[in-house]
Amino acid sequence: GAGVSQSPRYKVAKRGQDVALRCDPISGHVSLFWYQQALGQGPEFLTYFQNEAQLDKSGLPSDRFFAERPEGSVSTLKIQRTQQEDSAVYLCASSLARTGAGYTFGSGTRLTVV
Amino acid sequence: QQQVKQSPQSLIVQKGGISIINCAYENTAFDYFPWYQQFPGKGPALLIAIRPDVSEKKEGRFTISFNKSAKQFSLHIMDSQPGDSATYFCAASTMEYGNKLVFGAGTILRVKS
């Protein structure tokens, strides 16, 4: 497709459950970012990949959060033992350039932890 | 620590009017300042961006004004239309940070017809 695709669009998880969120970036895009957007707030950086290398994971809020991009294309964000405070929209973005400027966001996955 | 402060939180403008949203930043290492538009249920979409070597950039009805000494930048939407009703985010980044964006808290714009 022409855009960044994220799945699922919506996910309801019981507290303590593990979840996996998928991002299909635009084909050929080198840079891939994950952001977390709480309700009524701006997106906050979680992690950054350049091809398959995770160059920055400083925004991951705890060791329950893990991201991978093994072949330099599709990426998965995994959250273990979900907590209510993990409820948010998780956005993925990709960019052709290494600079990250002008990158394209997906529509996000809305995670609700009950 | 919030590094990009955005105001106002919400804004109501009459159709045909000018919408103005302001942002201030703290980190002088920032060298890329984009504005994003977000509709409900969608991801943010890049509207316009500026580098600190220019003071103004215009694309259609959208203009960024940049004041490096004051560490402030603003978005002006001329001839605002009901279709412009959305949430707008300013952001900033720097190569030093690996190009991750630091976003403002957002401004909800409503254009009344």
Tell me the per-residue pLDDT of B43-97, one tens digit each, with 9 for 90 and over: 999 999 999 899 999 999 999 999 999 999 999 999 999 999 999 999 998 865 5
Q: What is the 3-state secondary structure (H, E, C) of chain B?
A: CCCEEEECCEEEEECCCCEEEEEEECCCCCCEEEEEEECCCCCCEEEEEECCCCCEEEECCEEEEEECCCCEEEEEECCCCHHHCEEEEEEEECHHHCCCCEECCCEEEEEEC
What pLDDT is stored for residue B1 in this prediction? Answer: 46
- For chain B, positions 22-81, list CB contacts with chain A under 8 A: 32, 34, 36, 41-46, 49
Size of interface A-B (CB pairs under 8 A): 63
Of all residues in chain B, the one with the smallest CA distance to A47 is B100
DSSP A26: P
Distance from CA of B5 to the nearest CA of A (A): 11
pLDDT higher than threshold 70 for residue A100: no
Radius of gyration of chain A (CA): 13
Structure tokens of A15?
């507290």
Radius of gyration of chain B (CA): 13
Q: Which of A36, A54, A55 is nearest to A45 (CA)?
A: A36
Of all residues in chain A, the one with the smallest CA distance to B99 is A100
Per the CB < 8 Å rule, is B43 touching A4? yes
Confidence of residue B100 (pLDDT cuts 50, 70, 90): confident
What pLDDT is stored for residue A11 in this prediction? Answer: 98
Judging contacts by C-beta atoms under 8 Å, the chain B residues touching residue A103 are 46
Of all residues in chain B, the one with the smallest CA distance to A108 is B43
A64 SS3 class: coil
What pLDDT is stored for residue B82 in this prediction? Answer: 98
Of all residues in chain B, the one with the smallest CA distance to A54 is B98
Model pLDDT for residues A3-62, shown as the tens digit of each residue: 999 999 999 999 999 999 999 999 989 899 999 999 999 999 999 999 999 999 999 999
Judging contacts by C-beta atoms under 8 Å, the chain B residues touching residue A53 are none
Backbone φ/ψ region at A95: left (φ over 0), alpha (ψ -120 to 50), beta: beta
